[in-house]
Structure 1
Amino acid sequence: MNVPTFIRATGVVLGLACVTSPAMARGDETPPDSICTVLGTAARYVGTTVTVRGVATSEGKVTTLADAQCKSGVALSIDEGNSHKRDVSSFRRVISGKNARADATVFGRFKSTGDATAPYVIDVYSVRDVVEVPADGT
């Protein structure tokens, strides 16, 4: 194999690697669990990192991620360090308006609070696939 052919073949291989790597990375993502599943078997998830999808709302300083199928929700806690991340700050802006809601996938640590009213919380590390939900729910 001569040098120009080798360089051309190397370029093709590198080009294919660049094109397929984002697709391969997306294939490794864990599909989100439902909030119903996580809360239904909460003891199994306490202290672990979860990826859940639901509808987020914010009332005052309390942000909740809920699922209408089981009519359950879990509080979201966003610490100061993670609140400056682009995805998290964008998420907070979307749900900060009055009656604002957003369908979102949340990634974070699932913890027990010891509070009977809100027994669990997710410490949010990142948020993706945020879609604003109109106030009328359509």
Structure 2
Amino acid sequence: MKAVTFARATGVAILLFASGVAAARSDDTPPDSICSVVGTAQRYVGTTVTVRGVASTEGKVTTLSDTQCAASLSLSMDDNASKKRDVSAFRRTVGEKGVKADATVFGRFKATGDAKAPYGIDVYSVRDVNELPAAEGG
């Protein structure tokens, strides 16, 4: 009787541990490439995406680009997003003149109607921001 109870308790503990590990992994969605998202843009418009690229700001416009395919996305960070610590730190980092940073951006993919940057992302969060030396980042 004790062996059966122990086996059930052990089985439940293993199941809970395994589901916890799976849940932790699902939080870290691997980023898509900007090239693949822009290449099949109609599939992504209106959905949330996680992409990684090089961010920079020119004037008041922040973009995320990928030198592999020369694609770029405009990044919109509204007041609500800017209140988040990760987004405000990202904005400060790339807001300085000439600063570029490698970053993973999560947000809603949208068509902008702008010929120069036809697609953009409404930024919800930013992670893994690494400032690049002036010579890097394309």
| Bin of the TM-score, shorter chain as denominator length | 0.7 to 0.9
The match for 2:111 is 112
1:71-86 equivalent positions in 2, closer than 5 A: 71-86=70-85
Change (3 A) 1:135 1:26: farther
Counterpart of 2:25 in structure 1 is 27
User: What letter matches 2:73 in structure 1?
Assistant: V
3-state SS in 1 of match to 2:42: helix
> Could you say which residue in structure 1 is the equivalent of 2:58?
59
Pairwise mapping of residues 1-138 of structure 1 onto structure 2 (< 5 A)? Answer: 21=20, 23-28=21-26, 29-137=28-136
Gaps of 5+ in 2: 3-8
AA aligned opposite 1:115:
D
TM-score by length of 2: 0.82
- Counterpart-to-counterpart distance in 2, 1:135 and 1:125: 27
The letter of the residue matching 1:129 is D
1 CA distance for matches of 2:89 and 2:23? 23
Aligned length: 127
Residue-by-residue CA offset, 1:88-120 (whole Å, 9 max, x unaligned)? 011111111111011000000000112222211
% identical equivalent positions:
64
What code does the residue aligned with 2:34 have? Answer: I
> With structure 1 as the length reference, what TM-score do the two structures score?
0.82
Deviation at 1:60, TM superposition (A): 1.5
Aligned to 2:6: none
- The letter of the residue matching 1:69 is Q
Tell me, in whole angstroms, the C-alpha distance in 1 between the residues paired with 2:130 and 2:23.
22
Distance 2:34 2:99 in 1: 20
Question: Which segments of structure 1 move beyond 4 Å, counting only runs of 4 or more?
Answer: none
Cα RMSD after superposing both structures: 2.3
